[in-house]
Amino acid sequence: MVLLIGDVTEADLKSSPVKHVTHLREVRGLADGALVEFFGHVVRWDNRCASEEQCLLWRSMADPSCDAALDAMFKESSYIGKDLLESLENHSDQRSAPDAASAFLEEVSNIPPEDIRVDPRDVLIARDFFLDYSIQIMQALFHYSLAGGFASPRIVKTLRAVSYLMPPTRQDDGVEQESKAADDRTFARLLETTQFVLDVMGCVASSADAESTGKSASDAPDSYLLPGGEGWKACIRVRMLHGIARRRVRQRLARESAGSYNEAYEGVPISQEDMAATLASFSTVPIWALKRLHLRPAPAQVRAYLALWRHVGFYLGVAPSILRQYLHTPSAADQFLASATLSLFSSNAPLDPRTLPTLPILRAAAHRPPGGASLAHNCAVTRLLVGGALADHLGLPRTPPLARVRLYAALAVQALPVLFARCYPRAGWRAKRRAVMREGLPRSVRWSLDMLELAACQNTRE
């Protein structure tokens, strides 16, 4: 079964030819509006899609202001174990003359332009939408954006270079070592990503909220996403973390290639293409997944959710030109993500599924509270969301009939609160559920991280 992206309909599949491609260069010369299928996803290829030339240009672009700031900050010291944002602020305060770090801090302390900044009303709509569909959205981010999207050849190369979401490898054949410690490290990285999503959605436990910057309930709904807010801080920390990872990848590739590494040919690690595609996957993939699960959200919710992530993308270092052109409407975001995904998955050599992060990610999250889902269940959910063609490419096993029945039953139970809220006339019930989710989600993530830290300490003592 194919996945229809954007405005493509079943009728279009019957009335128009579909070109099957596996590489972005295969769409050269296509007529505007032609249907293209790759890994089971069908999209209408038009001028809203990113061209091969544009993707190659983005691949050569990094985040120069952030990179320069990190060079200035850690020229003679180490970043290990430090809060990057706090280090940036301290460095700028201690400098008698401005440098690249203070210039970067000044840059990220600006308010986004009006056509990128999220409207405060959209913040409330997006947060309510996230809380109402939190289970389905987090499933989409985990099974589709991370387990599926991070398996592209370029991203795999970066992940492996920095050992992020990738277990240690044997020196002989490069196949992942399966160990509890590796799974725990991978799961901790997944929890940190979840915490970032909760931060930018304004989902903070009440105790943590009371200890934050002193913002009151009367502040504007978007205040936490503006300079000084907790959501803004999360964005800057992640942006600087990407900069650190970029430095490490460059150093490792240069060292392992004995000086033959050519960034102009290979592309920049964690480039504008990578960052923009990841941002689009966090803002758009959940909408695709909800439609796949027959829980189609309202257009206003989709627009508000995208607007919030567009605002976040500004602070994450995604070029404003990309945000304006490709993430200004849901339809544009659909076309951009489809074309960017095709670009990132375009490869001149076949990939060994055993070297991809998909199964390690799914295995790391198996048998974890609160759901305790098995690896087989995680594989089944991923196959359902990404489609059979991409699942086969990722090396996921087929879902047996009985397991499929159990999967549909579990998804139906998860959808019950959403469907009940749509029918129940009293808004108070929905508000109470949102309050519980807003309080419970960050507490659950914090508890899981604490348990991992406790287990790591016990293993160290042993």
Q: Cα-flanking dihedrals φ and ψ of residue 19, to 5°?
A: -90, 125
Beta bridge partners of 342: none
What are the residue ranges spanned by the domains of the chain? 3-47, 117-461
Average the pLDDT over each of 6-20, 52-66, 199-213 and give the range with the smallest value: 199-213
Reduced to 3 states (helix: H, G, I; strand: E, B; else coil), residue 374 is coil
Contacts made by residues 416-420, CB under 8 angstroms, sequence distance 24+: 418/132, 418/133, 418/136, 418/295
Please give the Cα distance from 106 to 425 (Å, whole number): 48
Beta bridge partners of 38: 41
Average the pLDDT over each of 170-184, 267-281, 398-412 and give the range with the smallest value: 170-184
pLDDT at residue 442, as a whole number: 96
Tokens 């004995």 sit on residue: 258
pLDDT at residue 212, as a whole number: 53
pLDDT in tens, 158-181: 888 887 776 555 444 444 445 888
- Mean pLDDT of the region 185-204: 95
pLDDT in tens, 8-43: 999 999 999 999 999 999 999 899 999 999 999 999
Percent of the chain with pLDDT over 70: 93
Mean pLDDT of all residues in the chain?
Answer: 91
Task: Identify the CA nearest to 157 among candidates 316, 268, 67.
Answer: 268
Please give the Cα distance from 224 to 208 (Å, whole number): 13
Please give the Cα distance from 389 to 360 (Å, whole number): 20
pLDDT in tens, 128-151: 999 999 999 999 999 999 999 999
- Contacts of 394 by beta carbon, 8 Å cutoff, 6+ apart: 147, 148, 151, 353, 356, 358, 359, 382, 386
Query: What dihedral do alpha carbons 103, 105, 108, 113 form, nearest 10°?
Result: -50
Alpha-carbon Rg for the chain in angstroms:
22
Query: Residue 139: exposed, middle, or buried by beta-carbon count in 10 A (0-12, 13-18, 19+)?
Result: buried
Q: Cα-flanking dihedrals φ and ψ of residue 33, to 5°?
A: 95, 0
pLDDT at residue 81, as a whole number: 87
Tokens 């500004």 sit on residue: 314
- Mean pLDDT of the region 43-54: 95
Please give the Cα distance from 167 to 181 (Å, whole number): 9
pLDDT in tens, 336-353: 999 999 999 998 777 778
